[in-house]
């Protein structure tokens, strides 16, 4: 499988699956019109319950990111993830606000962001 799940995380597994699939789409690893692995196949490869993957797929379907094709599986419906990117930016802004309210200096916040983005570019 192209991603793993952090079972020690406070984030529910189905949300991790949905977010990781979104990231694969954003990064261009999964393109519009491509089928996702079957629920059973993904559940087996991640070592999770079928219902967990089904819930993640249902969430993605409700968001309009994937679409069920009767008898075939789930296909990527959305080409660009502008809404998802907007959500990430809002979350980043909220985290930065929390850091500021907690008294973390701006320089430290900026340094962390610079280090993270530098690492990702390499």
Q: Who contacts 94 (Cβ-Cβ below 8 Å, separation ≥6)? A: none
pLDDT at 121 over 60: no
Quote the tokens at residue 87: 């959500």
Domains of the chain: 13-76 (1.10.10.10), 82-121 (no CATH)
pLDDT digits (tens, 9 = 90+) for 15-72: 999 999 998 988 889 988 999 999 999 999 999 999 999 999 999 999 889 999 999 9
Q: Do 66 and 76 contact (CB within 8 A), yes or no?
A: yes
**Quick one: how far is CA 61 from the chain centroid?**
14
- The DSSP result for 19-58, as a single string, is HHHHHHHHTTSS-TTPBPPPHHHHHHHHT--HHHHHHHHH
CA angle, 18 as apex, 79 and 91 as ends, to 5°? 85
């Amino acid at each position: 499988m192209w991603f793993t799940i952090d079972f020690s995380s406070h984030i529910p597994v189905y949300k991790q699956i949905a977010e990781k699939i979104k990231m694969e789409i954003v990064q261009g690893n999964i393109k519009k019109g491509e089928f996702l692995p079957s629920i059973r196949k993904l559940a087996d490869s991640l070592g999770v319950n079928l219902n967990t993957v089904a819930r993640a797929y249902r969430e993605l379907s409700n968001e309009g990111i994937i679409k069920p094709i009767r008898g075939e599986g789930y296909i990527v419906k959305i080409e660009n993830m502008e809404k998802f990117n907007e959500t990430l930016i809002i979350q980043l802004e909220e985290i930065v606000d929390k850091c500021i309210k907690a008294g973390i200096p701006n320089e430290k916040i900026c340094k962390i962001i610079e280090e993270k983005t530098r690492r990702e570019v390499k």
